[in-house]
A and B are shown apart, each in its own frame.
Chain A
Amino acid sequence: MSEAKLKVLEASKAYWNPDKTQFWQDAGVDLVIDKREGYYLYDMDGRRLIDVHLNGGTYNLGHRNPELVEVLNVGARHFDMGNHHFPAMARAALAEELAKCTPEGLKYTIYGAGGAEAVELAIKSARNATRKRKIVSIIKAYHGHSGLSVKTGDERFSKTFLSEDTLGEFVQVPFNDLTAMEDALKGRDVAAVIMETIPATYGFPMPNEGYLPSVKKLCERYDALYIADEVQTGFMRTGDMWGITRYGVTPDIMVIGKGVTGGIYPISCCVVSEQAGAWLKQDGFAHMSTAGGAELGCVVALKVLEITQRPEVRSSVRYVSNFVRAGLDDIRALYPDFFIGIRQHGVIMGLEFNHPEGAKPVMRRLYENGVWAIFSTLDPRVLQFKPGILMTQDLAEEMLRRVEIAVGQARDDVMGGGAKRSYLQ
């Protein structure tokens, strides 16, 4: 390891996050990201990694996508964050564009700086509109780490900070369980159900056929709003602009973040229907955010929307998802006792391994083989596998070649037959 990298690691331990820094060292992932370009990351010591983590779709269009960098540069000659109190050119333009390309009935855009803030906005808007407090989410859901959003998720993230729900306002039900959902809703005291269209941190379990539309119907029956968290499933990652429309659901509120600005300048958006956004007509000063909808982020987001809606991109997503799937099926056939399942919708994939923490050695072996993908925090049997929508054929082929080797090595680590035993022991 170079002196320079060692210094960064030491400083990270001393001043940034000692535990997290140590965790990665222990896990065999000694990554300090330096240069980044397209779907490549480069470690400070020069090693190249193919990025199939993409920070949950943030780098959907590649790291430092040249068109987005250009727009940011050109934008910076005219714009800054802007003043959140006033109507603004870039915010209005993006809101208008989002009204056009989001599902029918969604009208106003409320801006945040990150995904969690957009989830706060969704919950607050739903509570205001329904005059009810209760929020239903999925067990092991993940919607962010801020005050309200963290309460919708697993206690793993709230208890540490004594921030778990103590008032019974946040109810969690199992995924794909309609009876539990109906039980939670039938008291008619629920403001909204919030759903990741495909739960990411939970390892992308896929909704059963008809599950999401049935949840929406239950919401209508019991006067609750449906909040679609499209942070990881939006922007063509399922092959359509929004994952939720593939399942035939029209939400009342949609939350988008991450990929909306391609990792170049962060903003997030909460897009609401006329009903859900009632407060915007009554008291527009009720919520404010200085960095929310920063205008530089808005101009980048406009470009992201334009790029992702090009016909060639739609085609590219299909190629990537079909080709990678075919390749993964071949790899599965080689290691059927270890690589036991693939969950997939478009380029959103969860690879399931036959060990309670099977995705961790796979992650480490992938890292050694030049591929970066991360395990699912809330289901470490599953590796989150998220190729970019513009991945080229050459790169997809190269990635699969590396994955095949790494999965074989991880299988030996876990199930024996190889030289090394699992570091998990």
Chain B
Amino acid sequence: MSQTVAELMDISASPVALKAKAELVLDRGRWASQVFQRYDRDRTMEIARHVAQVAHAKAKEYGEWAVKETGFGVAAHKALKNELSSIPLVDFYSDWNFVDPRLDERTGVVEIPKPAGVVFALAPSTNPIATIYFKVLASLMTRNAVVISPHPAALECCVDATKTLAAAAEEAGAPEGIVQVVEQVSLPLVDEFMKSPKTDVILATGGTPMVRAAYSSSNPAIGVGPGNAPVFVDATADVKDAARHIVDSKSFDNSVLCTNESVLITLSDVASKLERELSNAGAHLCREEEVEALRRYLFHARGFNVESLGRDAVWIADQAGFKVPKNTRILVAKISQIGAGEVLSKEKLCPVLGYFVASSVDQAIMQARALLRFSGAGHSAAIHSNDPQTVTDYAAAVESYRVVVNAPCSQGAAGFATNLSPSFTIGTGFFGRSSVGENIGPQHLVNWTRIAWHKDSGPLDRSAIGRLQHRGPLPVAPSDGVPGQGVGTPPIAPFRPQPSSRPGGSGGQDGLRDEIRQIIAEELRGLLKG
């Protein structure tokens, strides 16, 4: 049987077709981002708020969908992460202004925000929806276009969620195509997107190979490396609270957050109390043969056994070949060394916690430092202590860019139980071969043009800042001769979101006035044309 024309002429896998496909999406993103830059701050934030509300309303549904599709994590916890990455995220940044010029009072330099343009954003299988929510909202708040590239294992929920957010953005008046998703994802296609000069910045969250590929693409990239957080409990800690936080954190979404604690380090005189409290909080302290079973099960010659990723403690124990009580939340595996030779001192995206007892505070700190040098550099660390000097010594020694104190690390490092910026995209900085060392946020998607006067110009005040022209959405061109769409057709009605009861809402009155002014200007233009 000979081939059909469609089969004979199928060029979809050719480099030419892949490039064309990527460019079509990126060009559309460029149009959208350029038009979006005509929007003022009120209108921008209205759009972000509306999208956040829609995202929030669907948080539970997508949490369940992600678990069903990927098998990773806990639906209720994913729902919570999704919620945190919607309205609270926009609230957190509601005082920031990524649209209007600002004056640096100290230097007299005026700064004008310039969005990146088109953001290419990878979404991992472990945190697919929360990552999408976060990257989409960060892009919208900064008037960037974003193209989401889902992990193939979470493709369906990612495509659906991105389309939902895209529809919400456009409903609120964002330019069409401001949020797009790669629906037929493949490695060669993702590579085309990453290396295309039409991509302005890559937000890479995912496995190390993907993050390194982003950095190798020749495009600006903000990539985050893997985590492997040490958590140190010292003698001054409230041991009961510490144990509770650690178990809560390590069991949260079955440890798929890269900010989860990897190895617990304590001191010999704290150990027995801590072990008791861990048990009370739902931890199972593994016997030596169980630890050995975990080593064998969790780490293959190729590395971490992804089958265990995001699974619960009882399931993992069962797979490893031992039984634990049904209510076990985490497995604690005591180890006697850290680094080469002990696989359990690597990152474990499952509720298995390494456990090391040190003989002194100095030794404990050195072990924590060694852990991050072994793997997870630049990411996260935690400490439970009430001695500010120990906290400082610890933070100064470990090669991580965030140290969470007396709080669960999974949530704390991601800014949800601390005052860090809320983010599931954790900059791992120079230690972690990344360009940014803080929690990634919308501020990383904007560069600023600095207007600098002559040194002798004297001090500047706010009157030196001119107004930016924000002409708003593009008027719709007439389709002459089509009923109702010819010359002089008024522009489409501007979006008015439901009045929000949230504090810190936009200056709605001013926005409305601007829009009315714009409508009148359009009408005048129509009349003059006629």
Residues of A bordering B, CB below 8 Å: 66-67, 69-71, 74-75, 78, 89-90, 93, 198, 206-212, 238-239, 246-248, 299, 302-303, 310, 312-313, 315-316, 318-319, 321-326, 329, 343-346, 390, 392-394
B30 surroundings in chain A (CB, below 8 A): 392-394
- Do B480 and A344 have beta carbons less than 8 Å apart? yes
Residue of B nearest to A238 (CB): B479
- Across-interface contacts of B9 in A (CB, < 8 A): 71, 74-75, 299, 302-303
Q: Within 8 Å of chain A (Cβ to Cβ): is B481?
A: yes
Cβ contacts under 8 Å, A238 to chain B: 479
Measured in the bound complex, the distance between the Cα atoms of B11 and A71 in whole Å is 7
Q: How many residues of B contact A (CB 8 A)?
A: 35
Q: Considering the chains assembled together, what is the distance between the CA atoms of A323 and B474 in angstroms?
A: 7
Which 6 pairs from chain A and chain B are nearest by CB?
A: A206-B480, A325-B477, A207-B481, A319-B31, A93-B5, A322-B474
**Contact partners of A326 in chain B: CB under 8 A:** 474-475, 477
Residues of B within 8 A of A325 (CB): 475, 477-478
Residues of B within 8 A of A207 (CB): 480-481
Residue contact B176 to A209, C-beta cutoff 8 Å: no
Residues of chain B contacted by A324 (CB below 8 angstroms): 477
A246 adjacent to B479 (CB under 8 Å): yes
Q: What are 30 pairs between A and B in contact, CB < 8 Å? A: A66-B19, A70-B11, A70-B17, A71-B11, A93-B4, A93-B6, A206-B480, A206-B481, A207-B480, A208-B481, A209-B481, A246-B479, A247-B482, A302-B9, A303-B9, A303-B11, A312-B25, A312-B177, A316-B27, A319-B28, A322-B477, A323-B31, A323-B35, A324-B477, A325-B478, A326-B475, A344-B479, A345-B479, A345-B482, A393-B30
Question: Chain A interface mostly helix, strand, loop or mixed?
Answer: helix
Q: Taking the nearest CB of chain B, how far is it from the CB of A248, in angstroms? A: 8
Residue of B nearest to A88 (CB): B5
Q: Is the CB of B17 within 8 A of A345?
A: no
When chains A and B are docked, how far (Å) is the Cα of A248 from the Cα of B481? 11
Q: Which residues of B contact A392 (CB under 8 A)?
A: 27, 30-31
Q: Which residues in A have their C-beta under 8 angstroms from that of B28?
A: 312, 315-316, 319
Taking CB atoms, residues of chain A closer than 8 Å to B16 are: 66-67, 69-70
In the assembled complex, how far is the CB of residue B529 from the closest CB belonging to chain A, in whole angstroms?
A: 8
Do A212 and B477 touch (CB < 8 A)?
no
Residues in A whose Cβ lies below 8 Å from that of B478: 325, 344-345
Identify which of residues 467-487 in chain B touch chain A, using a CB-to-CB cut-off of 8 Å: 474-483, 486
B479 neighbours in A (Cβ, 8 Å)? 238-239, 246, 344-346
Q: Are A209 and B5 in contact (CB under 8 A)?
A: no
CA distance A198 to B481 in the complex (A): 10
For A346, list chain B residues within 8 Å (CB).
477, 479
Q: Nearest CB to that of A395 among chain B residues?
A: B27
Which residues of B from 270 to 307 have beta carbons under 8 Å from A? none
Q: A66 to chain B: which residues have CB within 8 Å? A: 16, 19-20
Asked if B24 CB lies within 8 Å of chain A CBs, one says: yes
Q: Is B14 an interface residue (CB 8 A)?
A: yes
CB distance from A353 to the nearest CB of B (A): 16
A-B contact count (CB 8 A): 114
- Contact assessment for A316 and B31 in the assembled complex, using a CB-CB cutoff below 8 Å: yes
Near A by CB (< 8 A), chain B positions 156-178 give 176-177
Residue B8 lies at the interface, judged by CB distance under 8 Å to chain A: yes
Chain A, residue nearest B14 (CB): A70
- Would you call A67 and B482 a contact (CB within 8 A)? no
The answer to whether A315 touches B480 (Cβ under 8 A) is no
Residues of B within 8 A of A343 (CB): 480
- Inter-chain contacts of A394 with B (CB < 8 A): 30
Interface string of B1-40 (1 = CB under 8 A from A): 0001110110100101101100011011011101100000
**Minimum C-beta distance from B176 to chain A (A):** 5
A260 to chain B, nearest CB (A): 16
Q: Please judge, given known A-B contacts A315-B176, A344-B478, whether A78 and B8 are in contact too, CB under 8 Å.
A: yes
In the assembled complex, which residues on chain B have CB atoms less than 8 Å from the CB atom of A67? 11, 16-17, 20
With the chains together, A343 CA to B477 CA distance in Å? 10
Question: A274 CB to closest chain B CB, in angstroms?
Answer: 25
CB contacts (< 8 Å) of A329 on chain B: these are: 525, 529
Q: What A residues does B177 contact at CB under 8 A? A: 312, 315
* Bound: A70/B9 CA distance, A: 9
- Closest CB-CB distance, A198 to chain B, in whole Å? 8
Q: Say which residue of B5, B17, B19, B20 sits within 8 Å of A89 (CB atoms).
A: B5
The residue in chain A whose Cβ has the minimal distance to the Cβ of B473 is A322
How far is B38's CA from A322's CA once the two chains are assembled, in angstroms?
A: 14
B342 smallest CB distance to A (angstroms) = 51
Distance in Å: Cβ of A229 to nearest Cβ of chain B: 16
Which residues of chain B in 434-490 are interfacial with respect to chain A, using CB atoms and an 8 Å cutoff? 474-483, 486
- Which chain A positions have C-beta within 8 A of B481? 198, 206-209, 211-212, 247, 345
Residues of B within 8 A of A319 (CB): 28, 31-32, 35, 176, 474
**Contact assessment for B11 and A74 in the assembled complex, using a CB-CB cutoff below 8 Å:** yes
Question: Which B residues, 34 to 65, have Cβ-Cβ distances below 8 Å to chain A?
Answer: 34-35
Beyond contacts A66-B16, A67-B16, A312-B28: 20 other A-B pairs, Cβ-Cβ < 8 A, are A66-B20, A67-B11, A70-B11, A70-B14, A74-B9, A208-B481, A210-B483, A247-B481, A247-B482, A302-B5, A303-B9, A310-B24, A319-B28, A322-B474, A322-B477, A325-B475, A325-B477, A345-B482, A393-B27, A394-B30
Q: How far is the CB of B527 from chain A (nearest CB, A)?
A: 13
- Closest Cβ–Cβ distance, residue A349 to chain B (whole Å): 9
Cβ distance A27 to chain B, nearest Cβ, rounded Å: 29
Closest to B474 in A: A322
Partner of A209, one of B4, B20, B24, B483: B483
Which residues on the B side are within 8 Å of A312 (C-beta)?
24-25, 27-28, 177
Most buried by A among B24, B480, B482: B480
Q: How far is the CA of A104 from the CA of B529 in the complex (A)?
A: 37
Q: How far is the CA of A313 from the CA of B28 in the complex (A)?
A: 8
Complex alpha-carbon distance, A30 and B207, angstroms: 57
**A contact residues around B486 at 8 Å (CB):** 206, 209
In the bound complex, how far is the Cα of B193 from the Cα of A232, in angstroms? 33
Distance A64 CA – B19 CA, assembled complex (angstroms): 15
Chain A residue contacts of B475, Cβ below 8 A: 322, 325-326
| A366 CA to B24 CA, complexed, in Å | 28
Q: Which of B5, B11, B24, B486 has the most CB of A within 10 A?
A: B5
Closest chain A residue, CB of each to CB of B477? A325
Give the docked Cα–Cα distance between A240 and B24 (Å): 18
> Contacts A89-B5, A299-B5, A316-B28 known; A393 to B34 CB distance under 8 Å?
yes
Give A138 Cβ to nearest chain B Cβ, in Å: 14
**In the bound complex, CA of A69 to CA of B19 (Å):** 14
A316 to B475, CA, bound (A): 15
Among residues of B, the one whose C-beta sits closest to the C-beta of A61 is: B20
Complex Cα gap A74–B34 (Å)? 37
CB A94 to nearest CB in B, in angstroms, measures 8
Docked Cα-Cα span, A340 to B16, in Å, equals 43
CA distance A90 to B8 in the complex (A): 10
Contacts of A323 in B (CB 8 A): 31, 35, 474
**Chain A residues with CB below 8 A from B25, complex form:** 312
Q: Least Cβ distance of A356 to chain B in Å?
A: 22
Known: A322-B476, A343-B480, A344-B479. A393 touches B31 (CB 8 A): yes
**Beta-carbon contact of A209 and B474 below 8 Å:** no
Complex CA–CA separation, A256 to B393 (angstroms): 77
Q: Measured between alpha carbons, how far is A411 from B5 in the docked complex, in Å?
A: 53
A325–B479 alpha-carbon span in the complex (Å): 11
B residues near A239, Cβ cutoff 8 Å = 479
B477 touches A321 (CB 8 A): yes
CB-defined interface of B349-372 with A at 8 Å, one 1/0 digit per residue? Answer: 000000000000000000000000
Once the chains are docked, how many angstroms separate the CA of A313 from the CA of B525? Answer: 29
Task: Give Cα A212 to B481, complex, Å.
Answer: 9
- How far does the alpha carbon of A239 sit from the alpha carbon of B19 in the complex, in Å? 24
- Which residue on B lies nearest to A209, using beta carbons? B483
> Residues of A contacting B35 with CB < 8 Å?
319, 323
CB distance from B526 to the nearest CB of A (A): 10
In the bound complex, what is the Cα–Cα distance between A316 and B208 (angstroms)? 35
Task: Considering the complex, give the chain A residue whose CB is closest to the CB of B9.
Answer: A299
